[in-house]
Amino acid sequence: MLKKQLMSVLDGGFVLKRSVFQPCIEMYPMQEWQVMMEKVNKLNRFVKKNNDFIRVFTAGVKIADLDVTGRLLIPKDLAVFAGIESDIILSSAVNIVEIWDKNKYEIAINEATADFATLAETVMGNSSNLENGLS
């Protein structure tokens, strides 16, 4: 099923990396990763915080392809980072897919749901902010 849904991006492969904010793995289609790297490459590496960000943001990045049976091998170091023990959840996150340990995903969703109405109002409530990409 996943292979069928991702058919248009399969040939380019994927980039797997640690999530910045959550204990999960982010899976970027190669074309999305290239867009992200264009943004990162514009950062001035002679500014220490930029250099530190780039180092941590790209730490553990792996290029991955689906095998002939449509499976994706998750590298051990990334699986350890995400705390993946057995069952996983694939969660759409706009232009990427998050790969979660099932139990950790359910905890994160339950925690975020507690005050989701306030978060939705803050992020989406002002339509002029949406046009500017601001929350």
What's the predicted TM-score (pTM) here?
0.81
Q: Answer yes or no: are the C-beta atoms of 36 and 17 closer than 8 Å.
A: no
Instruction: Extract the residue ranges of the chain whose pLDDT is less than 50.
Output: 135
Given this model, what pLDDT does residue 6 score?
Answer: 58
For the segment(s) 2-101, the CATH number from 3.40.1550.20, 1.10.3720.10, 3.40.50.20, 3.40.1410.10 is 3.40.1550.20
Given this model, what pLDDT does residue 46 score?
Answer: 95
- What are the residue boundaries of the structural domains of the chain, listed by start? 2-101
Given this model, what pLDDT does residue 71 score?
Answer: 85
Please name which of 77, 79, 73 lies closest in space to residue 100, comparing C-alpha atoms: 79
Q: Which residue has the tokens 């099932």?
A: 102
How far is 101 from 82, CA to CA, in rounded Å? 7
Largest CA distance in the chain: 46
DSSP code of residue 87: -
